[in-house]
Copies of this chain bind each other. A is one copy, B any other.
Amino acid sequence: MEKKITIYDLAKELNVSPGTISRSLNNHPSISKKTKDKVVLKANELGYKVNKFAVNLRTQKSNTIGVIIPKLDSYFMSTLLAGVEKVANEAGYNLIISQSLESMEKEKLNAKTLYNSGIDAILVSLAFNTENYDHFTPFIKSKIPLIFMDRVHVLPNCPTIVIDNVQAGYDATDHLIQQGCKNIIVITGNLKRNVYADRVLGYKKALKANKYKFSTDCIFETTMEPKNTSDVLGYIKNMDEPVDGLFILADSFAAHCIKELKKENYNIPEDLKIVGFNNDPISVLVTPTLSTIEYPGYNMGLLAGESIINQIKGNINLQETNAISLRHKLIVRESSRN
């Protein structure tokens, strides 16, 4: 382990050719068991370690998957990543992870870096404000598999892994309506992102199906940072009709809102019913416990990992699996119960 041992050193030691060493180490079928054993033994003895740099150059592959996500420190994302990492690791792939910090510019840089670093495939969840997708074309042109997760965009040959956000939005809204809410407001993140836009779409559909009238006033867009709860409260208080239902598209922000609302003496669920999104652990710890949509982050990660590895290995039918949709579930808790 002191000096770097190469296959040439082993070859010299054992009086065979470097080719034989290489083949033995890679368990090539043409090599006799005897030779293989001999080589492997010697390799361990001398502390031989393959030089991945050479292997990579030779094979033009890195056994590495790149990942771009908005932020590492969110419950959903870290759960998703945990899933991806598990699958990738088991399949012998490493993960290079970078965060866009919700900025398209950083996302572009990350994409470029990852492209140059020679990853075999890439997994992406888009930043809040990404509206140009040219930074992904190099991957497509070079036929490097690209899969979008959760915050997706439709690009040729790039499968997406999502839940049915429209239906989820519908389910949540319909539930609030069934609970008797008359004036339901949606608190959403950036509507450029499919996840939010689709949920809002579902909200509208549910209103329509229940013959409620829709008004754009009922949509409040925010960055969903804790400091912005006061904006939400201010907005709600100034509505003409009293608000009795809140559909907040992220549990963590919903939890902060609940805290503020309680301070202002709103009674939840009596005066105001709330449904969140994600089934973040916070949802069972907050008082009242938060109704929400279960969002299978870990499973999404597992699936994304499996899919991308299948694509790398070429054993997948792209046409058939262009958009994978995972199942969501409405979980009713105290915050929306009568």
Give residues in A with beta carbon < 8 Å to B.
1-2, 49-54, 56-57, 60, 62-64, 71-75, 77-79, 81-82, 85-86, 89, 94-99, 101, 110, 113-118, 138, 141-142, 226, 252, 255-256, 258-259, 281-282, 284-287, 298
Contacts and interface: CB of A to CB of B under 8 A. Distances in A.
Contacts of A56: 53, 56-57
A141 B3 CA distance: 10
Given A50-B116, A77-B78, A85-B72, A97 B99 contact: no
A113 to B, nearest CB: 7
Contacts of A285: 255-256, 258-259, 282, 285-286
Contact of A89 (B75, B81, B98, B118): B98
Contacts of A258: 285
Contact of A53 (B62, B72, B94, B97): B62
Q: Is the interface of A mostly helix, strand, loop or mixed?
A: helix
Given A1-B141, A53-B56, A82 B96 contact: no
Contacts of A97: 81, 85, 95-97
A81 B85 contact: no
Question: Which 8 A-B pairs have CB atoms at the shortest separation, nearest pair first?
Answer: A53-B57, A73-B78, A78-B78, A53-B56, A72-B82, A287-B287, A73-B82, A73-B79
Copy total for this chain: 2
A85 B57 contact: no
B52 A117 contact: yes
Nearest to A118: B52
Contacts of A256: 285
A256 to B, nearest CB: 7
A128 to B, nearest CB: 16
A286 to B, nearest CB: 5
A16 to B, nearest CB: 23
Contacts of A75: 73, 75
Nearest to A137: B1
